[in-house]
Amino acid sequence: MDVTKKSPLNKLYADFHHAVIPHITADSRICVGLSGGVDSVVLLHLFAQLRLSHTFHLSAIHVHHGISQYADEWSLFCQQLCAQLAIPCTTTRVTLDNKLGVEAEARKQRYQQYQQQPADFIALAHHQDDQAETLMLQLLRGAGVKGLSGMAKYRQLPNQPAYLRPLLDMPRSAILAWAHAQQLQWIEDDSNSDTHYARNFLRLDLLPQLNQRYPAWRTALARSAANLAEASELLDELARMDAQQSIHEQRLDCHYLQRINPSRARNLLRYFFALHNLQMPSQVRLADMLAQLTRAPHDNHPAIPHGDYTLHRYLNQAYLIKRLPVSDPKQSWSWSDGDTLHIPFYGTFSTHISDATGIALAKFTHINIRLRQGGEMLRPDCKRPNRRLKDLLQQQQIPPWQRDRLPLVYSGDTLIHVPHIGTACAWQAHAGEPSIALDWQAEV
C-alpha cells in the first residue's frame, strides 16, 4: 500500500515527511534505533516508505541489553524485519552495571552505542505520549528548566550523529493505527506491564485516570515542554554570552561569577559542566559549589569533587581537572639512558644536548625521579641561598594539585632539578660547557 497517496493515514506520513526532509540530503546516513516495539517498527517502516521517493542511506541498530529472557528473540526479530525491508541492521550487546538503576543504565548504554554509529542521524521513535510522560517524571524529580524542556525533535551534539525524532508531535494512538493498517508485526516488551518502573506506573496507573478528567493532557504537557524548551534555549544563549567572557577551555573565571547575580552564576556553572559532558549536580550541590568558588578566602584553594573530575579554585580561577590515581610519595623511577623517560599517569621527560645553560652533562649521572615528600630544598639561583621547594612552587604559581605530581630529578640522593623551577646551582653548566636540557610534558 502506497501511503504517500490518499489514505486515512496520510496526515501521519505527511507530518513525518515534514519533520525529516528539511534535515536530509541524498548523501545522508540515517540509522534507526530499533527495539522491535511498535513505535520503532513504525518509524522504520515510514523511512522505508520515504526511501521510495527520496534518496538517502538507511540502516538500523538494535541494542541487546540482556535484561529480558526474550532478548535473543527480540534481536532475531529485528534482524529478520530489516532483512525483509533490505535495510542493514547492526546488533550490539551491552552489559549493565546497574549503578544508575536498570532504566537509566540501559538508556546510557544505548546512547553510547548510538554515538559510535557511522551515521549522520540517529532516528528515534519517541512520540507525544513519551514527551508528556517524560515531563511528568521530571516534574516529580524536581528538575529544572532544561530537564522539563523534554526531548527535542532535532538535536546536534559535537562529534556524534544528530538525533532526529520525527514522531514527537504524534500521539501513540496514531502510531498504533498506522501499524494495524499496514499489518505490521512487532514485539511486546514483557517489562512494559511492570509498574515497578516509574514510567510504567505513570502509563498504566496514573495517566488513565488523568485522561478521564483531562483528555487533552498529552497535547497540553507537550506544549508546556515546548515552552520550557524555548526558555532553556534563552538560558543557554545567556550562558554562551557569559562564557565568552569567563570560560577558557577547562577554566572558569571566579571573579566573573562573583560579579553576576546568583541565578545567572548558577546558569553559567551548569553550562560549564554541560560543555564537558558532566552530570548536572543537584540544586543544593550547585549552590554549595558556587559558594566555595566565590566566597572562600583568597588564600584558600577549595577542591570540589564532581564525578570523575575535581573543580579546583586557584588565583580566582576554577579549573576542571580529571582525577588521577593518588600519588604515592615513596615512588621513584630510575633514568639510566638519559634520553626519554615516560612515567605513566604523570608525563614524559625528554632531553636534548645544548650549548645553552642547562645541567652539566658530565654531572648528569645516577639519575632517578622522585615525588615530593616535604622539606625539599633547592638553590636554582646561585646568588641566593637554598630555598624551600614549597616556597619556590608558590612563587612560580604552580597550581596546588600539580605540586605533588611534579617529578623531582635527583642525582643519587641530591635534588638537582625541578621542572618549571630550575636546576641546582652546583649542577648548572658553565658557559661553553656541554649541557643537557630537560623538557617535561605532563599528561594533564
Are 360 and 338 in contact by the 8 Å Cβ rule? The answer is no
Provide the pLDDT for residue 8.
52
Answer whether 397's CB lies under 8 Å from 359's CB: no
Q: Which domains does the chain have, with CATH numbers?
A: 8-214 (3.40.50.620), 246-322 (1.20.59.20), 332-441 (no CATH)
Alpha helices in 247-369 (DSSP H): 254-259, 262-275, 283-295
Q: pLDDT at position 337, please? A: 67
Name which of 368, 325, 320, 371 is nearest 344 in CA terms: 325
Predicted local distance difference test score (pLDDT) of residue 430: 87
- Dihedral class, residue 326 (left if φ above 0, else alpha if ψ from -120 to 50, else beta): beta
Cα separation, 311 vs 322, in Å, equals: 9
Q: Scan for cell 641561598, then name that residue.
A: 385
For 259, the grid coordinates are 560579579
Split the chain (444 residues) into runs of 10 and give each run's mean pLDDT. 56 95 95 97 97 96 89 95 96 80 83 94 95 90 86 86 95 94 91 82 89 90 89 94 95 96 96 91 93 88 93 95 85 84 91 80 92 94 95 94 92 95 93 88 83
Which of 334, 335, 302, 307 is CA-nearest to residue 319? Answer: 302
pTM of the model: 0.74
**So what's the pLDDT on residue 267?**
96
Compute the distance between CA of residue 344 and CA of residue 289 in angstroms, rounded to an integer: 31
pLDDT for 4 equals 47
Residue indicated by cell numbers 543537584 = 282
Q: What is the pLDDT of residue 187?
A: 94
